[in-house]
Every structure is written in structure tokens, then in C-alpha cells.
């Protein structure tokens, strides 16, 4: 937190805006034990003066997170960046949250255990939710192998904004593609917790859309997803 006295900072801001101050009940500072992890104690929400409807009119689109899930090599990132390119070409504002890119930055401290994967999804969903609040259409390209973690992402982002898309190329096709050489390393035991080889993948049971990239090329896959977004009224 930026201030030693967050409640005082908050009250000062409210006075500046002409809003009555809030007086939280709390123990004296010398009696408060600061937990090891951050909490929501003495943290207040600051509502925006700009409504989402204003952003939607400005951008001529409705915010959403298209959550692309599937095995490594299925084509999630390729499809996400193609959709970003197309939407920007149409005058819509979109952004890709790519799993590998996030692991170079925001999620660089996480591995691939079930617990770390869970936190990886949580952080990504929180970022996607903030981007949706700003009016953007987000394409999240992560393996996200566990149904429970994807359900958590849906809960964070909101059911009305969350679009689960299964990029459904099967394991054999993905392993034959192996664009990053990861399957070969996983088969050789050089990579642990690798989805599809040494870790499970739980396919969506009822996704909004299923795109089989073993049957459709990139152009066809993007056409299918674009048609769905237009039918949902997310883009014009």
C-alpha cells in the first residue's frame, strides 16, 4: 500500500470530492498485528465517475473475455492474435493475454504445479476483468487445464462477460505440430507437469464455442469465432 494511513488518505480524497468521510472502527496501530499477506483491512473501493455504458458508446463494443483453452500446440495464441488483428482492423479495441507472455512478467514467479496453475489463472482473470472494466475485448490464451480453475476465472470476470472457447485439436495433432519442441522434451522426461503427457487436461463440458483446429485452418477458425462474437452483439 502507498500510505501508512490508508483510511486517512481515503478520507482526505473523499473530502476533496465533497463526500462525507468514512470512520472505520479499528484498533490502535500498536495493537494491530500486520499479517504476512495483504488483506482488505482498511482498504476502500473508489468508484469511477465514468459508467461502463459511456465506454461502450465510445468504443462501439461490449467488453468481454474470450477464454481460449486447449492443449499446447492447439493454436490458442495464434487464433487470439489473429482475432486481435481483425478487431483492431474493424476499429474495435482488443488485447491478448497470452499465457507464455504473462509468465515472463506478471506470473514469472509461478511454476506448473496445480497450485501454481490455479494462481496463474486467478491473476490472469483479475487482469482480464480490469481490462473489461476499461471497455476492452480480451482474448486470454492459456492452457488452463482444470475445470475448477476456469470456473474460478468465470466467477472473477462475470458470467455475462466470460466466453469459454475450447480450441480442441487432440493430443496427437498437437504433438505432431509441437511448434516449441515441448512434447518431445516432455516425453523424454525433461519437463514435468506437462499437460497431456504428465498432467491432465479437463476439456470443457459445455463451452460457448468449440473450434477444432485440426479440421479448420486459421482463417476458418477466426471466421467462426468472429461470427459468434457478432451474434452475441459484442462487436459490430
Residue-wise pLDDT for 135-162, tens only, equals: 999 999 999 999 999 999 999 999 999 9
The CA distance from 128 to 20, in Å, is 32
Using CB atoms within 10 Å of the CB of residue 116, give its burial: 0 to 12 exposed, 13 to 18 middle, 19+ buried: middle
**Tens digit of each residue's pLDDT (9 = 90 or more) over 87-114:** 999 999 999 999 999 999 999 999 999 9
3-state SS class at 70: coil
Extended strands (E) in the chain: 64-69, 94-98, 137-141, 162-167, 209-211
The CA distance from 9 to 1, in Å, is 11
The CA distance from 236 to 230, in Å, is 6
Cell of 161: 462477460
pTM of the full structure: 0.80
The residues annotated with a catalytic role in the active site are: 144
The predicted pLDDT at position 9 comes to 41
Q: Which residue has the higher pLDDT, 9 or 150?
A: 150
**Predicted confidence (pLDDT) at residue 18 exceeds the cutoff of 50:** no
The predicted pLDDT at position 135 comes to 95
Between CA 77 and CA 84, with CA 78 as vertex, the angle to 5 degrees is: 85
The CA distance from 201 to 218, in Å, is 23
Amino acid at each position: 500500500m502507498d500510505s501508512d494511513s490508508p483510511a486517512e488518505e481515503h478520507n482526505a480524497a473523499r473530502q476533496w470530492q465533497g463526500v462525507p468521510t468514512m470512520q472505520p472502527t479499528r484498533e490502535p496501530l500498536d495493537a494491530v498485528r500486520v499479517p504476512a499477506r495483504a488483506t482488505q483491512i482498511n482498504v476502500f473501493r473508489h468508484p469511477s465517475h465514468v459508467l461502463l455504458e459511456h465506454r461502450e458508446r465510445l468504443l462501439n463494443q461490449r467488453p468481454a473475455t474470450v477464454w481460449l483453452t486447449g492443449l499446447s500446440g492447439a493454436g490458442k495464441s495464434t487464433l487470439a492474435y489473429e482475432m486481435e488483428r481483425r478487431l483492431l482492423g474493424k476499429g474495435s479495441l482488443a488485447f491478448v493475454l497470452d499465457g507464455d507472455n504473462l509468465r515472463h512478467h506478471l506470473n514469472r514467479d509461478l511454476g506448473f504445479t496445480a497450485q501454481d496453475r490455479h494462481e496463474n489463472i486467478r491473476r490472469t482473470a483479475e487482469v482480464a476483468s480490469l481490462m473489461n472494466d476499461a471497455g476492452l475485448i480480451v482474448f486470454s490464451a492459456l492452457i488452463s487445464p482444470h475445470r475448477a480453475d476456469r470456473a474460478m476465472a468465470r466467477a472473477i470476470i462475470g458470467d455475462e462477460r466470460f466466453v469459454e472457447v475450447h480450441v480442441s485439436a487432440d493430443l496427437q495433432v498437437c504433438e505432431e505440430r509441437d511448434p516449441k519442441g515441448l512434447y518431445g522434451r516432455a516425453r523424454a522426461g525433461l519437463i514435468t507437469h506437462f499437460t497431456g503427457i504428465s498432467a491432465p487436461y479437463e476439456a470443457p463440458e459445455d463451452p460457448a464455442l468449440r473450434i477444432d483446429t485440426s479440421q479448420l485452418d486459421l482463417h476458418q477458425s477466426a471466421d467462426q469465432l468472429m461470427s459468434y462474437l457478432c451474434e452475441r452483439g459484442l462487436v459490430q
